[in-house]
Amino acid sequence: MTERFLTAREVAEILGLSVKTVLTRFERGDLPGFRLYGRVGAPVRFRLSEIEATIADWEAAAPDRGVRQHTTTGAAEGSIVPLASTPGREQRPTTEGEP
């Protein structure tokens, strides 16, 4: 069986992030992936299994963070996906009257 590769757009949809944020996190080393042809500036692809493992690591590191159920093509039903937040970064509390 061959591994399914995801585009940055597909990973962004899974994680609830923008494509730009996914690519930034890839460049920082926060998301595992690779560049096609091994060239700078080439398109980036992500292995579904590695993204799921990263999500599991995030969930283990911050079990109190909100998660939502999400199904991706080729993923197991009900895969856990973090909401669009940076792992390890606290959310700013809101006060009454703030949007």
Domain ranges of the chain: 5-82
pLDDT computed for residue 74 by the predictor: 46
d(CA 44, CA 23): 8
pLDDT computed for residue 66 by the predictor: 55
d(CA 46, CA 14): 12
Bridge partners for 35 per DSSP: 44
> Helices then strands (H, E): number in the chain?
3, 5
pTM for the complete prediction? 0.61
Topology (CATH) of 5-82 = Arc Repressor Mutant, subunit A (1.10.10)
Tens digit of pLDDT at every position of the chain (99 positions): 688 899 999 999 999 999 999 999 999 999 999 999 888 889 999 999 999 999 999 888 877 665 544 444 444 444 444 444 444 444 444 445 555
Alpha-carbon distance values, 31 to 28, 70, 73, 78 (Å) = 8, 18, 19, 21
